């Protein structure tokens, strides 16, 4: 973990968005005229976080080494341009997550290069666009990400995601969704990779005003707080180690 991240005084969030639909589709631009990233960043800033945004079109997709070194939690929204994200940037983000940076992967970000690399699976799922009702049921009410949320969040219009969601078993499942068409989906999945915490949160289709919803914004703020690196994460050593007890170390069969 970088010294800069260790010495933070306020949780610093970089909100990443591919920013394609908002510039190409009038229906999306009407809902998010300044981009999904601007809406999320404003909501988090209102809740006390230091925010900045980055998009696909910027040099290095806005995710330079300096930017990531100064980021405690990265949020990721992508859909139409997963394949346009450069592999070296993905590896840069991956390294930062292992080193302690938190990562929130949102909605169709399940197919992003970074999420699939961290999960080691296809991250495939069923889907349907029918503007149907979704209920996000809280299945782990004691989890910090669910703090302040009642039994469920109800969204009048949502894109359906359905099981099976091809991801590893979550360390914790915070939300489980039911859709008007009958499907269910694991919508709030927590993971740890290396020293970094990862939260996948399903809601957020680009043509629906999901990220304007106060309860969704509250969950995002809770998730940022949960995913932020600990003030004192502790340390451990690795590599060749001297024995703690008095033993014969003269074995010459080693190939190292």
Check residues 118 and 25 and name the one with the higher pLDDT.
Answer: 118
Residue 205: count of CB within 10 angstroms of its CB:
24
Spatial contact of 207 and 218, defined as CB atoms under 8 Å apart: no
Q: What is the longest distance spanned by two Cα atoms in the chain?
A: 73
Q: How far apart are CA 192 and CA 194, in angstroms?
A: 6
Rounded percentage of the chain residues whose pLDDT exceeds 90: 83
Decide: pTM greater than 0.85. yes
Domain count, the chain: 1
Check residues 109 and 237 and name the one with the higher pLDDT.
Answer: 109
Residue 86 sits at φ, ψ, to 5 deg, of -65, 140
Residue 232: band (very low, low, confident or very high) from pLDDT cuts 50, 70, 90 = low
Distances, alpha carbon 77 to alpha carbons 27, 90, 240, 243, in Å:
18, 14, 41, 47
Q: Say what the pLDDT of residue 108 is.
A: 97
Give per-residue pLDDT as tens, 89-140: 999 999 999 999 999 999 999 999 999 999 999 999 999 999 999 999 999 9
Residue 6: band (very low, low, confident or very high) from pLDDT cuts 50, 70, 90 = very low
Peptide bond into 75 cis (omega under 30): no
CATH of the domain at 39: 3.40.50.880
Residue 6: count of CB within 10 angstroms of its CB:
13
Assigned domain for 131 exists? no
Assigned domain for 240 exists? no
Q: Say what the pLDDT of residue 2 is.
A: 47
Residue 99: count of CB within 10 angstroms of its CB:
17
What is the DSSP secondary structure assignment for residue 145, as one 8-state letter?
G
Could you tell me the residue range of the domain that residue 26 belongs to? 3-120+186-227
Give per-residue pLDDT as tens, 163-185: 999 999 999 999 999 999 999 99
Which pair of structure tokens corresponds to residue 204?
């957020």
User: H-helix or E-strand containing 5?
Assistant: helix 3-6
Assigned domain for 68 exists? yes
Residue 254 pLDDT greater than 80, yes or no: no
Assigned domain for 202 exists? yes
Alpha carbon 38 to chain centroid distance?
A: 16
Give per-residue pLDDT as tens, 33-81: 999 999 999 999 999 999 999 999 999 999 999 999 999 999 999 999 9
Q: Say what the pLDDT of residue 239 is.
A: 80
């Amino acid at each position: 973990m970088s010294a800069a991240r260790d010495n933070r005084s306020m949780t610093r969030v970089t909100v990443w968005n591919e920013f394609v639909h908002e510039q190409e589709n009038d229906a999306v631009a009407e809902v998010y005229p300044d981009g999904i990233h601007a809406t999320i960043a404003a909501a988090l800033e209102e809740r006390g976080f230091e925010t900045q945004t980055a998009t696909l079109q910027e040099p290095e997709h806005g995710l330079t080494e300096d930017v990531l070194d100064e980021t405690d939690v990265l949020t990721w929204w992508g859909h139409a341009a997963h394949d346009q994200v450069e592999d070296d940037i993905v590896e840069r983000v991956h390294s930062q997550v292992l080193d302690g940076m938190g990562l929130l992967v949102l909605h169709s970000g399940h197919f992003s290069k970074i999420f699939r690399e961290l999960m080691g699976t296809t991250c495939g799922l069923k889907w349907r666009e029918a503007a149907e009702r979704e209920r996000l049921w809280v299945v782990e009410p004691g989890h910090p990400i669910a703090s302040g949320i009642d039994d469920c969040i109800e969204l009048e219009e949502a894109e359906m995601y359905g099981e099976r969601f091809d991801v590893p078993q979550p360390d914790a499942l915070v939300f489980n969704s039911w859709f008007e068409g009958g499907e269910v989906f694991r919508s709030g999945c927590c993971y740890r990779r290396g020293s970094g915490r990862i939260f996948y949160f399903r809601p957020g289709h680009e043509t629906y005003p999901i990220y304007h919803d106060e309860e969704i914004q509250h969950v995002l703020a809770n998730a940022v707080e949960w995913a932020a690196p600990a003030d004192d994460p502790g340390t451990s050593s690795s590599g060749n180690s001297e024995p703690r007890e008095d033993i014969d170390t003269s074995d010459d069969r080693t190939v190292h």
